[in-house]
């Protein structure tokens, strides 16, 4: 039986290109997964358990099987031992059951891992440059500078944190975190004992 496996790392990415390639390859069944390659991939693991001698596992690219060279190589070893064929559509002439094919697969897996490390380093450098330029990274801020100033004044006038937070449509926790970023501590009023 021909099994296809398609994976993307996040919900923002699309499986469409892989789905199309696997359909053209004549897969009997396609397993799809949205999961980072560094996390446990439950659907891939379940598929691997189902594979039997004579089955074929088809992926669009080698890096869909694992995010590290070691992981991809171990998986290829396991498939060879179990007499399961691996077909990588981006590398149509690659046969990992041969010594030369395995060497090429090893080199390609190593190159892919190297490129991911370079990408992460470039990403870290970009984040550092953006931070040093004073740009905000991450989610959009809930309160603008004017609102933060107003909230500071209201709290200085002894208005309770929950009341001020509600006025700006944020939770007390968000208000405290926002004020902490600008160096202001917002404390909760003391609870009255009844």
**94 shares its domain with 153:** no
Q: H/E element holding 162? A: helix 161-167
Selecting among 9, 20, 68, 193, the annotated active-site residue is 9
Assess whether 9 carries a catalytic annotation.
Answer: yes
- CA–CA separation, 188 vs 39, rounded Å? 40
In a domain, 55, yes or no: yes
Domain span at 174: 145-181
Query: Is 0.75 topped by the overall pTM?
Result: no
In a domain, 112, yes or no: yes
**115 shares its domain with 149:** no
**67 shares its domain with 27:** yes
What is the chain's pLDDT, residue by residue, as a tens digit (194 residues)?
Answer: 999 999 888 777 888 999 999 999 999 999 999 877 556 678 988 999 999 999 999 999 877 877 666 777 788 888 888 999 988 898 877 777 788 887 887 887 788 778 878 888 999 999 899 888 888 777 788 888 889 889 989 988 989 999 999 999 999 998 988 888 877 766 544 444 44
């Amino acid at each position: 039986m021909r099994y296809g496996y398609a994976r993307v790392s996040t919900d923002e990415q699309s499986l469409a290109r892989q789905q199309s390639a696997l359909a053209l390859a004549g897969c009997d069944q396609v397993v799809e997964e949205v999961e980072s390659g560094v996390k446990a991939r439950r659907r891939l693991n379940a598929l691997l358990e189902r594979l039997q001698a004579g089955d074929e596992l088809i992926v669009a690219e080698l890096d869909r099987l694992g995010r590290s060279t070691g992981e991809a190589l171990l998986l290829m070893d396991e498939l060879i031992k179990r007499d399961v064929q691996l077909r990588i559509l981006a590398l149509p002439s690659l046969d990992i059951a041969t010594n030369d094919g395995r060497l090429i697969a090893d080199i390609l897996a190593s190159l892919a891992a190297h490129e991911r490390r370079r990408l992460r380093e470039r990403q870290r450098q970009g984040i550092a440059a953006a931070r040093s330029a004073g740009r905000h990274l991450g989610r959009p801020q809930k309160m603008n500078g004017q609102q933060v100033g107003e909230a500071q004044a209201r709290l200085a006038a002894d208005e309770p944190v929950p009341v001020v937070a509600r006025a700006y449509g944020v939770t007390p926790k968000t208000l405290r975190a926002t004020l902490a970023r600008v160096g202001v501590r917002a404390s909760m009023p003391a609870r009255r004992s009844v």
